[in-house]
A and B are shown apart, each in its own frame.
Chain A
């Protein structure tokens, strides 16, 4: 079964992250690289991506004439996706264990970040939506 592990944050969280020292950022990147390698070695890895910053985010709706109407203003409380991992595992417990591991990625001063990771099972097909 496939799961997506999502790291989300508000704009303020991204701004704090931008102020991490070079050393702290480096330690975090080293952890993330090792984490991805572990996933690949264990066969659980499907995909991972980091997203560009929320300042570039756009919200698009269809206009009456079918043209896209683009907006870049979001409420402060808005949670932005920062990045994700897609994993293929045998059980939900295994997905939670992997999420817990990435939650422990080091933050400022090398302390575990203890970031909340949103864990969602992905559908094998749209028919699974049960609509």
Chain B
């Protein structure tokens, strides 16, 4: 049983990292959302598995929140926003896909090296969970850096958050996990509402120096 518990947790956490890579090279917004929904499904399975293994019933709540909110509500809402704002074209990456993937590999290697060395005394399950979680967090940050489009930045942030939830549920017996996941959901909901209300479609970056001056309030 111990072996199975470990293997399944490992499989699901590894699945999250894999999907983070899939997110990195999606060039169409709708596909990006579908992949993100898949990641949320894997996350909720992973959390539910932890709940079962650790015999921690409150984690089922977190799993349910992850599933309902991030696999269903948010992707559907973002689909509608994209249709409404008319931005369902290809995503512009600041950096090329090949380079992004290489950077992603480097980040995963970094987090494995750091976490496996650092947490050598912690038990194997928690240690590998943390290493995977840090990879997902770093890949999410990478995605926020290389994308220009506000919707894909939001998706990057949410996948970063998936990594955090993975870490929090992997830390056995950690209190306040449910509260923290609720607090994060509020945050994400507000970002999505913000994108919709203010029609933020691009990161406010432009090569037009005059526009930059205006944004900085430093115009002469």
- Binding between chains A and B: no
